[in-house]
């Protein structure tokens, strides 16, 4: 469980307004991919519902509105029933492309040290069988102003997002198995 990376502790809790207008000077991006033995359709059946993130080990529950329509929303509760939350909105969804894109509308930087976060989850066929699962994100660091403290700088943001992606994708490898060779 990589919960420690997801639920970042912060000595600066409460120091920063949740809805800061400004953001850091450099948008960050990251991409984590894994390959699994299952066919894309089977993987998409498991993860291709914006309202169901039970496949991710850190997500305790998800409530939302709008199913998989554009502008659908969800609130993820992390860890356990009284865990911290992340609010998200869907802005692209395609069963055909096996891909959806969403943005975080509200999260405290102590939970995930990012702002202006958008993300894409995509399943693609893998050469030689099985699937490639790709999770990509674009975001600014948690600290909107100049000279960020270490735990809210660009590197901290990338480490945290990579941790979330890796934990989710590792769980899918465990579930669907790694492809042979």
Partner 1 sequence: MLWWLVLARLRLDATLLILALAAPSGVAGDIAYVTCQNGNTLSVLDLDSGREIARWSVPGQPAGIAVSANGEVFTVAPDSKTVRRHAHDTGAVLAEVRLDGGPMGIAHDPQRDRLFVSDWYNARTWVLDAVSLEVIGELPVGTAPAGLDLSDDGRFLAIAGRDANQVYIFEVDSLELRHQLDVGTRPFGLRFAPDGRLFVSNVGSNDVSVLDPVSGGLLATVPVGDRPYGVTFAAGRAFVSNQYEDTVSVISLDQLQHEAKIAVGEYPEGIDSTADRQTVVVTNWFENTVTLIDANTLSVIKELQTGDGPRAFGDFLLEGKT
Binding site for partner 1 (CB under 8 A): 21-22, 25-29, 91, 118, 136, 138, 145-146, 154
Residue 78 or 133: which CB sits closer to partner 1? Answer: 133
In whole angstroms, the minimum distance from the beta carbon of 22 to partner 1 comes to 5
Q: Please, what is the minimum distance in Å from the beta carbon of residue 181 to partner 1?
A: 30
Residue 76 CA to residue 61 CA, distance in Å, equals 6
Nearer to partner 1, 33 or 54 (CB): 33
- Nearest distance from C-beta of residue 37 to partner 1, angstroms: 29
Residue whose CB is less far from partner 1, 13 or 70: 70
* Nearest distance, CB of residue 134 and partner 1, angstroms: 12
């Amino acid at each position: 469980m990589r919960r420690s990376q997801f639920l970042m502790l912060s000595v600066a809790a409460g120091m920063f307004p949740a809805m800061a207008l400004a953001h850091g000077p450099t948008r960050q991006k990251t991409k984590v991919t894994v390959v699994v033995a299952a066919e894309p359709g089977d993987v998409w059946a498991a993860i291709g519902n914006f309202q169901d993130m039970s496949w991710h080990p850190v997500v305790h529950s998800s409530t939302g509105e709008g199913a998989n329509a554009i502008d659908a929303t969800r609130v993820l509760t992390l860890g356990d029933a009284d865990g911290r939350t992340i609010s998200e909105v869907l802005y692209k969804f395609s069963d055909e492309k096996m891909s959806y894109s969403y943005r975080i509308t509200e999260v405290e930087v102590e939970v995930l040290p990012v702002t202006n976060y958008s993300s894409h989850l995509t399943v693609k066929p893998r050469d030689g069988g099985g699937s490639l699962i790709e999770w990509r994100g674009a975001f600014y660091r948690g600290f909107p102003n100049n000279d960020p403290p270490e735990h809210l700088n660009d590197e901290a943001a990338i480490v945290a997002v990579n941790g979330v992606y890796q934990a989710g994708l590792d769980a899918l490898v465990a579930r669907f198995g790694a492809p042979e060779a």
